[in-house]
A and B are shown apart, each in its own frame.
Chain A
Amino acid sequence: MTAPDRKPTERIRSRPRRLSPRDRLTLTLMAGVPTVLTVGFVWLPALLSVVLSFSSWPGIGGIDTIHWIGLQNYRTIFTIYPQFTPAVEHNLLWLAVFFCLPAPFGLFLAVQLDKQIRFSRLYQNVLFLPVVLSLALIGFMTELIFSPTQGLINNLTGHAGQHGMIDWLGDPKLNIWAVLVMACWRQTGYIMIMYLAGLKSVDPAMKEAAALDGANQWQTFRHVVWPALRSINVVVLVITVIESLRAFDIVYVVNKGTNGLQLLSVLVTDNIIGEASRIGFGSALATILLLISMVFIVPYLITVFRKDQRG
């Protein structure tokens, strides 16, 4: 809404231009509709879930059938719900693995592909391909590859027989890793494409200048490219957190998220969706998941808003 020419700034300041009714309507619609949608479909349900987490309700009948039981659901979750601890551990493991493997490896691949090597396009496509697949589909692929009797790996390595079988999907110490391998396979391509986009925006002149100054490849990367990737790093960080907290499909396809593949998102689903739902209990789990995401998201938003103010 800035005026096209700079001169009349004073005039505008002294006598602010009135918005025409049409402008106002446009503005109201543009800001209002998304606000209503966000509040109605994101915030209100989220808040109501928090409210419901203090209740016990089978999801049948009206509001009058809801029993309010205070913190009982939370007490149950933290004391006698055996699935909870492994679910939190697995979510954190997922997060740690996503930080340690696909993020740096994606960056590595992006830097290599950015060097204009031969068949670069082909490599890009190959590495990006898994990102196109849904995680549910990757879940089915996990079964094809890791199934103990019929899977690819055990049959290739001769571990599919009765003796010396490696139980990739049934052993709770192994199956989380089998699933993580597949999840990382997809995530790496995703991160790679992010970094590749970032690298394309680095001015080649800067790299040339660095080369002229006698910097080697590593020095160029460390002092020229990496600082320029700052904003992408933030995006990658956020994506990594989001992807690990919302992990769900792949484990649900493999074994419905039981026996070593528990995740918070699965526990919420288990309790809320089904023949008789434990709406209150599931909401309490969802609230915990919300709080955990807040731990990651709030600091991020604070940084972003601070930057905006400075800018």
Chain B
Amino acid sequence: MAQPSAENRQSTSAAPDTFTQPFTRRSLLRGALMATGAIAVPSFLTACSSSSGGSGDPKTVTLGSNAAIPEPKGAYQTLFTQVQQSTGLTVNVNWVDHNTFQQNITTYLQGNPQDVFSWFAGERMQFFAAQGLLSNVDDVWAKIGANYTDAMKAQSKGADGHYYFVPFDYYPWAVYYSKSLWASKGYTAPTTWDDFIALAKKMKGDGLIPMAFTDKDGWPAMGTFDYLNMRINGYDFHIDLMRNGTKWNTPQVKAVFDQWRELIPYYSPGFLGLTWQEGAQQLLNKQAGMMVLGLDQIGTIFTGAQADDLGFFAFPEINPSYGQDAVEAPIDGFMMSRSPKNKSGAQTVLSYLGTAAAQQTWLGSNPADIATAAGVDTSKYTAPQAASVQLIQGAKHLSQFMDRDTRPDFADPVMLPAIQQFLNSPDGAAGILSNIDKQAKTIWAANG
């Protein structure tokens, strides 16, 4: 379903992409056509591809990008010019709106996809790799392997041990605040849960909204769930829960919701009717004290002169045996489609995208993310970017995000409304959990 992608920068403008939502009958039709085997029905993604005619021009590599809006698009265009200078290959790009790209990914990959396309790490990548819709990029990794940490390598492999993904940029989730507001009030960053709640209480006393929180879009709350679960039950439990979906109705997960209930009184009033942009504005306007969000989002609100006023601290420790060892850091990158028209060209381009030089070029105009490859000139980072690198490098485990760590047909259709339901009636957690558990079991059992 809809766009719980943590990285949808363009959602600043409500949701214009919803116009492209096909209606019931069209969905039926699509399902029906697929059933009759007419799978090659060109989706409009491929239909608008500028490259559909060319069959394997050795000097051209086609690329499907989900960055159709001006900001990242401009940065990518600079990058692709650079690609041509360095490799002699022209990158022929099909720009698609972010959410539309995500929604149509299955049709896209089964149709006539570009050679290379943008996507995300984690289960979200592994799922499509397991369906045989991707080419492995082991050859590319033979060249770029040295640029990456082991954690990055692990996030780029499919379940079969082959590489399917070239990481490009990423960003952490943390608790963000306005440094100048904190300085004027004399707040200090908490490291434990008790300090965290005490700080929230103090902020409330000072007439602030302690925690800007918004969940009209549904996905922002997922970040809080991920952190609570990793802090209370540890990274391994979290990933197991996400990947296998078998332990939803357990005391461990119940504990997550119990802990969460303590935070709700400190949230923005009317948070279920607010978008993350409205919450981020509360932070920017110094109406709110702190906010759990990703740098990729908040970094687009604190821009220009305000960029360096953005401070953050790691989500506080709850269970001392896990401390703050895990960081939620969604990785964006590129993959290669099942049968690219220009395979060697695609490999060359991917190898180039996996270098610090390429990522540096792109980051030049995008201060809301950080590079995945080693060797980037960190002196060019803004203060929050530099601090993000510290945070991520100090982490023992990197999680992606709920909608990237679990099955796509579970995250949005089941978890998104379930969390909203919990936030609406926090006392009904037990019933909600047993229901999530039952749905998870049917979903994991259904598609073998």
Contact = CB atoms under 8 A, between A and B. Distances in A.
Given A45-B28, A72-B442, A246-B24, A167 B105 contact: no
Interface string B18-48: 1101111101111111111101000000000
Contacts of B448: 67
A82 B33 contact: no
Interface in B375-423: 407-409, 412-413, 416-418, 420-421
Interface string A281-298: 111001001000000000
A272 interface: yes
Given A148-B274, A171-B272, A283-B31, A269 B1 contact: yes
B33, B417, B418, B420: which has the most chain A beta carbons within 10 Å?
A: B417
Contacts of B416: 258
Nearest to B448: A67
A286 B37 contact: no
B439 A80 contact: yes
Contacts of A172: 272, 424
Nearest to A82: B435
A255 B216 contact: yes
Contact of B417 (A82, A276, A286): A82
B272 A259 contact: yes
Interface in A227-266: 246, 248-249, 252-253, 255-256, 258-259, 262, 265
Contacts of A29: none
Contact of B1 (A48, A66, A256): A256
B278 interface: yes
Contacts of B172: none
A278 B413 contact: yes
Contact of A269 (B14, B27, B102, B409): B27
A282 B27 contact: yes
Given A69-B446, A83-B417, A273-B103, A278 B409 contact: yes
Contact of B442 (A63, A80, A246, A289): A80
A183 interface: no
Contacts of B412: 270, 274-275
B142 to A, nearest CB: 29
A176 B191 CA distance: 41
B438 to A, nearest CB: 4
A9 interface: no
Interface string A25-46: 0000000000000000110111
B31 A279 contact: yes
B301 interface: no
A17 B84 CA distance: 75
Given A82-B421, A271-B413, A45 B31 contact: yes
Interface stretch (A49-57, A109-117, A209-217, A302-310): A49-57
Contacts of B439: 76, 80-81
Given A80-B435, A80-B439, A279 B273 contact: no
Interface string B270-291: 1111100010000000010000
B272 A48 contact: no
A155 interface: no
Nearest to A168: B273
A148 B270 contact: yes
Given A259-B424, A265-B23, A59 B442 contact: no
Given A49-B32, A162-B209, A276-B127, A62 B273 contact: no
B124 interface: yes
Interface string B96-130: 00000011011100100000000000001001000
Contacts of A171: 270, 272-273
B418 A286 contact: no
A48 B31 contact: yes
B131 interface: yes
A144 to B, nearest CB: 10
Contacts of A45: 25, 28-29, 31-33
A270 B1 CA distance: 5
A277 B74 CA distance: 32
B1, B22, B133: which has the most chain A beta carbons within 10 Å?
A: B1
Nearest to B31: A279
A60 B106 contact: yes
Given A149-B274, A167-B270, A279 B420 contact: no
Nearest to A76: B442
Contacts of A252: 18, 21
Contacts of A196: none
B30 A248 contact: no
Given A170-B216, A283-B31, A165 B270 contact: yes
B270 to A, nearest CB: 4
A188 interface: no
Contacts of B184: none
A246 B28 CA distance: 14
Given A149-B270, A248-B24, A258 B33 contact: no
B245 interface: no
Given A45-B33, A167-B269, A252-B18, A58 B27 contact: no
A268 B131 contact: no
A175 B273 contact: yes
A146 B274 CA distance: 11
A83, A149, A167, A271: which has the most chain B beta carbons within 10 Å?
A: A149
A136 B19 contact: yes
B218 interface: yes
B216 A275 contact: no
Given A246-B23, A256-B218, A49 B28 contact: yes
Contacts of A52: 31-32, 35
B443 interface: yes
Contacts of A59: 31, 34, 106-107
Contacts of A175: 273
A57, A140, A270: which has the most chain B beta carbons within 10 Å?
A: A270
A253 B15 contact: yes
B2 interface: yes
Interface of A: 41-42, 44-46, 48-49, 51-52, 56-63, 66-67, 69, 72, 76, 79-83, 136, 139-140, 143, 147-150, 162-163, 165-172, 175, 246, 248-249, 252-253, 255-256, 258-259, 262, 265, 268-283, 286, 289
Given A72-B446, A83-B417, A274-B103, 10 more contacts: A57-B447, A80-B439, A82-B435, A149-B274, A150-B278, A167-B270, A169-B272, A269-B27, A273-B22, A278-B413
20 contacts: A41-B29, A45-B31, A45-B32, A49-B31, A58-B447, A63-B35, A67-B448, A79-B438, A80-B438, A80-B439, A82-B432, A171-B272, A172-B272, A252-B21, A269-B21, A270-B413, A272-B27, A273-B103, A275-B105, A278-B409
Give the 7 A-B CB pairs with smallest separation, nearest first. A170-B273, A170-B272, A45-B32, A167-B270, A169-B273, A275-B408, A48-B32
